Amino acid sequence: MKPGRTRIEASTATTMTIDGTTHLAFAGTNFLGLAHHPDVHEAVRATLATCGLSASASRETSGNFAAHERLEESLAEVLGGEAALLVPDGWLANVALFEAFAGEIRCTILDADSHPALWHAARQIDGRLLDYGSGDLMRAHALADRYVDEHMVIATDGVFPRQGRYAELGQLLRMLPPTGLCVVDDSHGLGLIGTGGRGTAHGHGLRDPRIVITASLAKSLGATGGVIAGSAATIERVRRRSETYAGTTPIPPAVAAGAVAALDVLIREPARVERLKANASSLNRLLRRLDLRPPGHTVPQVHLPVDEALGQTLIEHLERAGIFVPFRGYGGGAARPIIAVNAEHKAADLTRLEEALREGLEA
């Protein structure tokens, strides 16, 4: 397999069919297996039948369905915000949020490893943009002291999958003036961190009106869409000021209903999050046995620390063993195998993965 895009013909939580062959897959961000949960599918089918395929209009005209509002209520509750607003995807959640504060934010202090979506969003507004390196809190502190401004923003991912790092939210909040905002892209924290996977802020026991959470619904919730959750005033502001929100068609009502069902499963089955964590630990242990463990916290998606040639050999052995793992580089960098476990993988699946990787390393 060459680095890059693969054509998937069908999938389950743990398999992908490519060129007519079904592979055991360690791929993607459907971390809790909810994209294939029967309750989710039932909700999608029922809403598809009553609402059609598309909202066919923006929310503020005739595209606002009950399912969208239900999903916003559910997301606000799970993420611990007073309110939440849906946008078409997680990237746009960051864009819409910053857009709503354009002209007001004079300084954004950003973790250097933040997702490109957060960088992109912060760059689109006038104002100073400074990074504090990879979680360098001393540097963040120095920048916050030097450029303190009532509308200052500190922005970070909640969980950095590539670095295996979690944001130090409590410490970042302490640097922020009372009227500032702490923007947390928690796309990878939702479904993983905090009791029942309620995210990074919950995991730190933080409820603060200065925290605004953005997230993709295409990761642990197995759906599609983006959300901004925070204080009622912030959410209302985004609703009134963001053209990205106002000028786009929302996710289909059926998908919104599916995401509501996914959140119900998340709340009802905290054991699912524990299974994800256990599988992430097993993956990290097996990679350590093979000397392939990157430094950092345990995360369910791991970018193998190997050069492209070894990556290619490993991918070929995985393929021969009937295992699909994506192989790609970011930002023009070398391609690497990206292995992801989810809550539905069984011990035997991980054993098969370990054997194929070991054969690749010994080849």
Residues contributing to the site for ligand PLP (CB under 6 A)? 89-91, 115, 117, 157, 185, 187-188, 216, 218, 226
Half-sphere exposure of 165 (CA within 13 A, CB side): 18
- Nearest CB to ligand PLP, comparing residues 160 and 357: 160
Q: Cβ atoms within 10 A of the Cβ of 220, count?
A: 31
CB of 180 within 8 A of CB of 151? yes
Torsion of CA 94, 96, 98, 99, to 10 degrees: 150
CA–CA separation, 355 vs 337, rounded Å?
Answer: 16
Query: To the nearest 5 percent, what fractions of the chain are helix, strand and coil?
Result: 40, 15, 40
Identity of the residue, 157 or 344, whose beta carbon is nearer to ligand PLP in the bound complex? 157
Distance CA 65, CA 81 (A): 21
Min dist CB 299 to ligand PLP, Å, is: 12
Report helix angle 270-289 to 347-362, nearest 10. 20
Instruction: State how beta strands 107-110 and 153-157 pair.
Output: parallel
CB of 187 to ligand PLP, least distance (A): 4
| Cα distances (angstroms) measured from residue 194 to each of 33, 82, 156, 199, 267 | 18, 18, 17, 5, 12
- Tell me whether residue 89 or residue 349 sits nearer to ligand PLP (CB atom): 89
220 or 312: CB nearest ligand PLP: 220
Q: What is the closest distance, in whole angstroms, from the C-beta atom of residue 225 to ligand PLP in the complex?
A: 7
Minimum distance from residue 117 beta carbon to ligand PLP (Å): 4
Cα separation, 191 vs 63, whole angstroms: 28
Q: Which is nearer to ligand PLP, 93 or 266 (CB)?
A: 93
**Smallest distance from the beta carbon of 114 to ligand PLP, in angstroms?**
8
Query: Are the C-beta atoms of residues 201 and 186 closer than 8 Å to each other?
Result: yes
* Residue 43 CB contacts under 8 Å (≥ 6 apart), including other chains: 254, 257, 258, 260, 261
Minimum CB distance to ligand PLP smaller for 23 or for 188: 188
Which residue's CB comes closest to ligand PLP? 90
The nearer residue to ligand PLP, 191 or 226, going by C-beta atoms, is 226
Query: Which of residues 202 and 317 has its CB atom nearest to ligand PLP in the complex?
Result: 202
Minimum separation from the CB atom of position 303 to ligand PLP (A): 12
Q: How far is the CB of 229 from ligand PLP (least distance, A)?
A: 14
CB contact at 8 A, 342 and 30? yes
Q: State the nearest-atom distance from the C-beta of 221 to ligand PLP, in Å.
A: 10
Beta bridge partners of 301: 340
